[in-house]
Structure 1
Amino acid sequence: MKLVEAMRDTRESLRELLLPAAPVILLAIGLLVLAYFWLDPNPPKRVVLATGLARSAYDEFGQRYHDALAPYGVEVVLLPSQGSLDNLQLLREGRADLAFVQGGSNDPPPGREESLVTLGSLFLEPLWLFYREDVYRDEVARKAGARHLLSLTQLEGLSLNVGSSGTGVPVLMDKLFRANKVDSGRLQLTRLEETPATAALLDGQLDALVFASAPESLMVQMLLATPGVKLMDFSQSEAYSRRFPFLTPVVLPRGVVDLAQDQPPDDVRLVATTTELIAREGTHPAILQLFAQAANDIHGPAGWFNRAGAFPVTQRSGYMVSREAERVYRSGQPFLQRWLPFWMANLVERMWIVFGLVVALVLPLSRIVPPLYTFRIRRRVFRWYGKLRELERQLQLHPERAPELLRELEALDNRTERIVVPLAYVDEFYELRNNIAAVRRRAWVAAEASVPATGAEAS
């Protein structure tokens, strides 16, 4: 019984406390709801990643990002394209949220392009210039044996595929031709996609082809293992890197393709661009964070041209570097995501500053809750003192009305008996009951005194 009464008192105290605190609580909830819709902390469930041609390195990496973000409930829709230039256009038109873009494939914008941000450089894309060993078709050259190509100037008079116009390779090759003072008019240039160009090379319809791609590309792997197809050695790779900041000299080590067959039989010097992951500035920060985390896992291991941990990396670019990516590369996975589900960790991470501001705003207002609580409880008791005082005044002015006033006092006592107050204020409740009892005694005395007087008058 005592436990039930204690629980009832506790419940009543909490109810009474919540009523004066309700405006402050509703204000805090309203501010948090407004901040939620303003900040939009939950990322979209669908994001579009512009990749490249089918079976290209961009296509392969795009599938890896698709698989990496799937456990977080984010669907990465892969949007095929012609290449880097096409990807930039898709970003600027808003048809893609993120895209792979090759360094040097586009003339740098004046200053920084505010509509796009970079998540950093992800991997190296060497410039692969494959050619047929029998490119010298005249009898003298055949007797002397096929020569190795060591310079772009040796391509004059040959048929060369530089890639489709949507890729960045035609732009890059044009820069390299100008640097080598090669007249492109003396070349038989074609602009086929990688697959038909490779077929034309193998059929003897092309003398050479060039494309930029990571070594993970299936086309690169196939051509490196194809007899009769050679890879041009860029003997001036260091000079290219000094002339063009977006190029890096790399070496394809001997035997890295096939140790058993010793392929390639010698080190091959190449020049490489770096591929960046570019995003529209309006892309949700949580999406950028997830892509940066996936980039660490996908591009962090060692490769043919880099040691473990060399990528991803932020570097000087024509685009602003994403703050989310910088934080992930600097600190790794956020602390909360290690212990909480992604959606919850992301919600707390995006909202905690707002939550602190709301607390700072509501805390001063909360100081009025205790006085309001006290006022409500004491008002429940004190409001009956007005009625009691009026009855006492009537008793003093009109003692002959004592029986009538006594009945009103009894009714007042009955009503106040049903008042429920927390234990902390029960003394004031009993004080009210005592005061009512005192006035009742006076009214009873006055009523008793009036009875004989009435009887005497009747006789």
Structure 2
Amino acid sequence: MSKILKFTQFSVRDLLVAAAPTLLAIVGVCALAYVLVDPSPPRHVVLSTGQENSAYEQIGKKYAAALAKHGVKVTLVQSAGSGQNLRRLKSGEVDIAFVQSGSTDEAAAEREGLVSLGSLFTEPMWLFLRETKGKPITRLTELKGKKINFGPKGAGAPRLFKQVLALNGIEPEEVTRSSLANTPATVELLEGRIDGLVFTSAPEAPLIQMLLQTPGIQLFDFDQAEAYARKLPFLSHVVLPRGIVDLGRDLPPVDYNLIAPTATLVARDTLHPALVDLFVQAAASIHSGAGWFQQQGQFPSARYTEIPVAPSAAKFYKDGPPFLQRYMSFWLANFFDRMWVLVLGLGALILPLSKVVPPLYVWRIRSRVYRWYGQLRTVEQALEDAQSQGERRMEIYAAQLARLNEIEEMVNQISIPLSFADGLYGLRSHINFVRERVLSLLSEAAPVAPAAVPV
């Protein structure tokens, strides 16, 4: 019984050999699609932050720590501020950066291939002045002739402060301007070598915290903040509440009106969607709490930005994190999320190629039988050629008869499924047919014995 099964069972090996080219083609195309159509997210990105001791720098470290948990390295690059960050994004030097609202417009952002990942927080414009004897400065027009540090080239503050001064009819040459970075400018202010300095920063920045508590330093109150917000739509009117810095010491002693752009996380539109998801989720973790100028859950947001929001980020703000990332690790969820590429590849290939496999399998099985017909044809050709060999015919016929016996022995060893047994038995009957012909030719060619002569 085992021998019968051996010779008649379904040939898995032949099926695998027949299907191998198809399977390799499917695997190759799917692998190519997986790599090229939807490449794996990179494990390294470059984030441009801000000046030393700035809020951008401090927050950048939080993003680096958040993404490191998912195996993504974030390289932080210091900058002068929003303006330099924007230039770096446009030139492709960095992948993502903090940019102040009002730094560009929608048309320019689309032209440069930039997308917003959402607004993160308001960053008021802080104008700190040295207290002077007599009446404190309450109008920007009183800054004429003063030495004011606008901030370094590339920061967001100089551009914004010039716009604010222009609204007050102050020409640039009417104010003595310096362009120091925040830290050295603070030193200059405390030493009395300049009269004031301008920051645009979140209140968490160490320099802001220090200056708000330094005696002899006055924070300018933008009591016309609502008008500024109407004149420059990218600005918001925010209030620094009395006592928010230190309730025990009642700092500040009064409410202060401030004008504030928003900090936006901006990336190149080539940033992988999976990394966009990671950054937006990190933003939700870092910025969603209540703060000095924001309510719980107000940020991050798809609002307050003139730059088009990336589709992946917009989907997050509408529906929350991707479904799979709620229940599994980022890389595993990303793998399954990208499987649709394989599904499309398989759908495009399996149906047409599946029609090729059965004929290949049938051909492979039948070829085991058909190749022996070539041997039979060789025998018959040798029989035909033997007709002209004269006395050697008997020798050729005997040799072909032995050859037929060998062929029959080999054919008897063929393992073939039962569904193809008719071909095998047909071959064996044809071998027997050729053998009968050889035997007939042998009998015809045998010399006739001489008749007996009577004595």
With the length of structure 2 as denominator, give the TM-score of the two structures: 0.83
Separation in 1, partners of 2:374, 2:104: 86
Contact 1:403–1:443, Cα closer than 8 Å, also in 2? no
Residue 51 (structure 1) shift: 0.9
Q: 1:295 matched to which residue of 2?
A: 283
- Correspondence for 2:119 among 92, 98, 121: 121
Q: 1:240 matched to which residue of 2?
A: 228
Q: 1:56 matched to which residue of 2?
A: 54
Contact 1:41–1:347, Cα closer than 8 Å, also in 2? no
SS at match of 1:81: coil
For residues 42-71 of structure 1, what are the alpha-carbon distances to aligned partners after superposition, in whole Å with 9 as ceiling and x for unaligned? 233322111110110110111111111213
1:276 aligns with 2:264: yes
More displaced, 205-214 or 153-162? 153-162
- Distance 1:365-1:109 versus aligned 2 partners, 3 A rule: closer
The 5 A counterparts of 1:185-204 are 185-204=173-192
Contact 1:106–1:168, Cα closer than 8 Å, also in 2? no
Residue 100 (structure 1) shift: 1.0
For residues 321-372 of structure 1, what are the alpha-carbon distances to aligned partners after superposition, in whole Å with 9 as ceiling and x for unaligned? 2223223333333233445543444344345235414531442122121122
Separation in 2, partners of 1:458, 1:250: 137
- Correspondence for 2:245 among 257, 260, 266: 257
SS at match of 2:12: helix
- Distance 1:164-1:416 versus aligned 2 partners, 3 A rule: same
Residue 102 (structure 1) shift: 1.0
1:415 aligns with 2:413: no
Separation in 1, partners of 2:433, 2:232: 103
Separation in 2, partners of 1:151, 1:196: 26
Residue 27 (structure 1) shift: 2.5
Separation in 1, partners of 2:427, 2:83: 88
1:377 aligns with 2:365: yes
More displaced, 368-377 or 438-447? 438-447
- Distance 1:443-1:332 versus aligned 2 partners, 3 A rule: same
Separation in 1, partners of 2:250, 2:259: 22
Q: 1:435 matched to which residue of 2?
A: 429
* One-letter identity of the residue aligned with 1:419: I
- Distance 1:419-1:292 versus aligned 2 partners, 3 A rule: same
Contact 1:51–1:99, Cα closer than 8 Å, also in 2? yes
* One-letter identity of the residue aligned with 2:170: V
Contact 1:114–1:281, Cα closer than 8 Å, also in 2? no
Separation in 2, partners of 1:422, 1:345: 45
**Which structure 2 segments of 5+ residues have no match?**
388-393
Separation in 1, partners of 2:7, 2:236: 75
Identity %: 44
For residues 382-423 of structure 1, what are the alpha-carbon distances to aligned partners after superposition, in whole Å with 9 as ceiling and x for unaligned? 44356568879979x99x998766544422221112212245
SS at match of 1:265: coil
Separation in 1, partners of 2:59, 2:249: 28
More displaced, 217-226 or 308-317? 308-317
For residues 424-450 of structure 1, what are the alpha-carbon distances to aligned partners after superposition, in whole Å with 9 as ceiling and x for unaligned? 54x336634763686499679969x95
Separation in 2, partners of 1:157, 1:264: 28
SS at match of 2:312: helix
With the length of structure 1 as denominator, give the TM-score of the two structures: 0.82
The 5 A counterparts of 1:127-166 are 127-132=125-130, 134-135=131-132, 137=133, 141=134, 147=136, 149-166=137-154
Q: 1:76 matched to which residue of 2?
A: 74
Separation in 1, partners of 2:7, 2:148: 89
Separation in 1, partners of 2:324, 2:124: 38
Residue 244 (structure 1) shift: 0.8
SS at match of 1:378: helix
Separation in 1, partners of 2:215, 2:418: 95
RMSD (CA atoms): 3.7
SS at match of 2:124: strand
Contact 2:104–2:306, Cα closer than 8 Å, also in 1? no
Contact 1:41–1:351, Cα closer than 8 Å, also in 2? no
Q: 2:90 matched to which residue of 1?
A: 92
- Distance 1:6-1:237 versus aligned 2 partners, 3 A rule: farther
